[in-house]
Amino acid sequence: MEARRYAVAADHPDASQAGAEILAQGGNAVDAAVATSFALAVVRPESCGLGGGGFMLIHRPGAAPVALDYREQAPAGTQIDLYRDANGKLDPTRIQRGGLSVGIPGTVCGLLHAFDHYGSGRITRAQVLAPAMRLANRPLAVDGHLAESISDFIDACAKQPELQRRHRDLYASLVDENGKARTLVDRSDIAITLEAISDHGPDGFYKGPVAKSILRTIKEDGGVLTAADLASYRVREVRPIERTCFDHAILAMPPPSSGGAVIIEAMNVLQAIGLDKLRAAHAIESGAVTEAPSGVNARFGDYSHYLIEALKPAFADRANLLGDACPAVAADVARMIDPARGRVIANQIDVDHAAPWTRYNDGAMTGDDGGTSHLSVVDADGMAVACTESVNLEFGSRMLVPDTGIILNDTMDDFALDTTKPNAFGLRQSERNIVRAGSRPLSSMSPTIVLKDGDVRLVVGASGGPRIITSTLQVMLNVIVSDERVDNAVAVPRLHHQWLPDEVRVQPGFSHRLRRSLEHRGHVIESRKDIGHVQAIERLADGTLRAACDPGKGGRPAVE
Distance, CA of 461 to CA of 260 (rounded, Å): 11
Strand segments (E) across 13-137:
53-59, 66-70
Q: How far apart are CA 149 and CA 370, in angstroms?
A: 10
For the chain, what's the residue count? 560
If one counts every other C-beta atom within 10 angstroms of the C-beta of residue 9, the result is 34
Compute the distance between CA of residue 161 and CA of residue 334 in angstroms, rounded to an integer. 48
Contact 218, 408 (CB under 8 A): yes
Q: Where are the beta strands (DSSP E) in 409-559?
A: 448-452, 455-463, 495-496, 504-506, 525-527, 533-539, 545-549, 558-559
* CA–CA separation, 386 and 258 (whole Å): 15
Rg (Cα) of the chain, in Å, rounded? 22
Beta bridge partners of 287: none
The C-alpha angle with vertex 34 and arms to 22 and 184, in degrees rounded to 5, equals 85
Question: Which phi and psi (to 5°) does residue 123 adopt?
Answer: -120, 135
Nearest CA among 263, 259, 305, 270 for reference residue 525: 305
Q: Give the number of C-alpha atoms closer than 13 A to the C-alpha of residue 406, restricted to the C-beta side.
A: 33
Interatomic CA distance for residues 38 and 72, integer angstroms: 17
The residue from 107, 217, 372, 404 that is catalytic is: 372
Cα gap 357→360, rounded to integer Å: 6
Question: What is the torsional sign of CA 530, 533, 534, 535?
Answer: positive
Q: CB 431: neighbour CB atoms within 10 A?
A: 10
Q: How far apart are CA 246 and CA 278, in angstroms?
A: 11
Torsion angles phi and psi, residue 323, rounded to 5: -170, -160
Question: Which distant-in-sequence residues (6+ apart) come within 8 Å of 40 by Cβ?
Answer: 10, 11, 12, 15, 47, 48, 49, 373, 375, 389
Under 8 Å CB-to-CB from 555, ≥6 apart: which residues? Answer: 9, 10, 11, 12, 13, 15, 16, 533, 535, 549
DSSP state at residue 409: P
Pair 451, 509: CB distance under 8 Å: no
Active site residue 366: no
Residue pair 13/381 in contact (Cβ under 8 Å)? The answer is no
Active site residues: 372
